[in-house]
Amino acid sequence: MKRLLLSPLLCLAAFAAEPLPEFKGSIEKLDSALDALLAPETKIEVLASGFNWSEGPVWKDGKILFSDVPENTVFAWREGDAAASISLKPSGSLSGEGQGSNGLAKDAAGNLILCQHGERRIARLEKDGSFTSLADKYDGKRFNSPNDLVITSKGTIFFTDPPYGLKKGTPPDAPYHGIYRVDSDGKVSLIIEDIKWPNGIALSPDERTLYIAVSDKDEPRVMAYDMEPEGTAKSGRVVFAARSLKSPERKGGCDGMKVDSLGNIWTTGPGGVLIISKEGKHLGSILTGQATANCAWGGDDKSTLYITADMFLLRVKTKVKGF
């Protein structure tokens, strides 16, 4: 069913025939090390609801921005708002016939950088509301549908390119689901081509390790790669395999991810957001009861985790900061 886009104040009346499911979330502690990251009394807050598929959050200008991919829209929510509001539409398909933006990021100048499914590119939103294409092809072949991205301290962009956002019936140009690097001069390089269904992407605090969340339905996992100074990736290995967590009660797979200032990995996975140490130990989970897409730190001190979980925008206060 395609959901209507409504504020929480309107949801009850509009969904009287088929109401939104009640949100039921909890924190699951699996290791005492979780106490340094989340207080025992931590609660999951619902900030907004009624979205079709919320994705790709980023903190910018005192508010959280996030994509609703099927609705071709970027929404914004600020403290004190009764509901999320439309910030950008169209967000990823300028014709309106394709899917919208997915992953969002902010560059050093504060510009919004978007993975645009419909346009099959990485783009920058300009102050006049126009878009500048930063990368739309490699080796003469168009990208599938850029999904998620991370930007280094020097402005290099790394992004994943599975075919999830391709218009139905559109054959891909490339025979692989690439992971690419875009240098500050616009040069595009393919750095990994042997993973099917790469999705979320993040860097360690020292930017020496690249993490990839792989949304393979049979083998959901988090991969890690050593980064060379020139921006190439080597020594790929599985940091965490999530297959054993899958169950009818724990929806979702490895999708979006972020890394905290201590190097812990916060990846969406079966059940919600999985909190994984850099050594690969599962410390606990933020259980959302929904297929959960992505997360991002925000707030003035970067110690609040915002979560996009299907139709919900959620918030959790953390004891650790993002970066």
Q: pLDDT-based confidence at 21, cuts 50/70/90?
A: low
Q: Is residue 16, in this structure, part of any structural domain at all?
A: no
d(CA 131, CA 115): 12
Q: Do 26 and 44 touch, CB atoms closer than 8 A?
A: yes
Which residue range is the domain that position 237 belongs to?
25-317
pLDDT, tens digit (0-9, with 9 covering 90-100), for 248-266: 999 999 999 999 999 999 9
Give yes or no for residue 14 having a pLDDT over 60. no
Q: Is residue 168, in this structure, part of any structural domain at all?
A: yes
**Is residue 169 within a helix (H) or strand (E), and if so which, with residue range?**
none
- Single out the residue of 250, 249, 177 nearest to residue 216, CA to CA: 177
Q: Is residue 91, in this structure, part of any structural domain at all?
A: yes
Q: Is residue 7, in this structure, part of any structural domain at all?
A: no
- Single out the residue of 36, 67, 64 nearest to residue 51, CA to CA: 67
Q: Is residue 11, in this structure, part of any structural domain at all?
A: no
Average pLDDT value for the chain: 93
Q: Is residue 3, in this structure, part of any structural domain at all?
A: no
Give yes or no for residue 24 having a pLDDT over 60. yes
d(CA 161, CA 145): 6
Q: Is residue 298, in this structure, part of any structural domain at all?
A: yes
How far lies 11's CA from each of 196, 223, 257, 292, 315, in Å?
38, 39, 29, 20, 20
In terms of DSSP H, where are the helices of 231-303?
none
Q: What CATH number corresponds to the domain at position 189?
A: 2.120.10.30
pTM over 0.95: no
Number of domains in the chain: 1
Q: Is residue 122, in this structure, part of any structural domain at all?
A: yes
Q: In what side-by-side order are the strands of the sheet with 304-309?
A: 45-49, 312-317, 304-309, 294-298
- Single out the residue of 117, 105, 107 nearest to residue 147, CA to CA: 117
